[in-house]
Amino acid sequence: MAARHICKIISNKFVVLLLLLSELYLLYHDYFVNTFKFADPIHVAILAYFFFIIGIVAGRNKEKIIQFIQKWKYIIFSGAVLSGLYVFWEGRSRFLSSNNYFNFYSQWRPSILIYSIFIGLTLFFIFEKKFQSNFLEKLIKPNFFQKLSKLSFFVFFIHIAVLESFWSLAGKNLFNLITTNFFGRILFDPVFFGVVAGISFLIAFLLHKIPKLYKLTG
């Protein structure tokens, strides 16, 4: 009962707005002012808690979210495109001015939080079963994404370790091998992302097969 009461409070639109503003401030301070000097688990928790808030709110207000997207879908789609372009421009500009690659690759930015909300709503609209075309529904089964969603919580916590390990073991060599020309430089990011995502989900899938372990892994 206590958990339900807390979820109800968190789902209040004014509380959500307050939490969003506080997260935006923390992301702004971390990216533009001074990086927080905390160990990674604490650092990530401080800068990512709003994503978990969104998950709680979405789980309790699915129909309202569907109605919201239907009403504002063109603004949401435009916001996803424009914010995505801005994220790239912002990172590129700060990298060129500082020569610090962190400014380009950092995911802890106010702009990325806004982009994540827009693109999340867009993807929800596309893949929600009620809005699927017959072709899309036959091409991609909804339960496939349900299975990925069940694994994503644990993937969130391990993907950085997977990324660092893969980069150390093979990523550097792969980078030097395929980025010798223009097409290789374009190809590297999706290949690297695909490998890291694939390994992360595979680990989560295998661990979820262990009885009762899901209570710890999500």
**Per-residue pLDDT tens digits for 39-64:** 776 888 889 889 888 887 887 788 88
- The tokens describing 155, both together, are 């993937």
b (16+ CB within 10 A) / e for 62-79? eeebeeebeeeeeebbeb
User: Residue 2: what pLDDT?
Assistant: 56
More confident of the two residues 110 and 143: 110
Helix axes 110-127, 40-60, angle to 10 degrees: 40
d(CA 64, CA 176): 48
User: Residue 134: what pLDDT?
Assistant: 55
d(CA 72, CA 122): 11
More confident of the two residues 23 and 181: 23
- The tokens describing 2, both together, are 């206590």
More confident of the two residues 130 and 16: 16
Instruction: Give the mean pLDDT of 142-169.
Output: 79
User: Residue 88: what pLDDT?
Assistant: 92
Q: Are 130 and 106 in contact (CB under 8 A)?
A: no
Helices (H), 29-169: 40-60, 62-98, 102-105, 110-127, 134-139, 142-166
pTM > 0.85: yes or no: no
As a whole number, the mean pLDDT across the chain is 83
Residue 157 pLDDT greater than 80, yes or no: no
Residue 202 pLDDT greater than 70, yes or no: yes
More confident of the two residues 186 and 216: 186
The radius of gyration of the chain from alpha carbons, rounded to an integer in Å, stands at 19
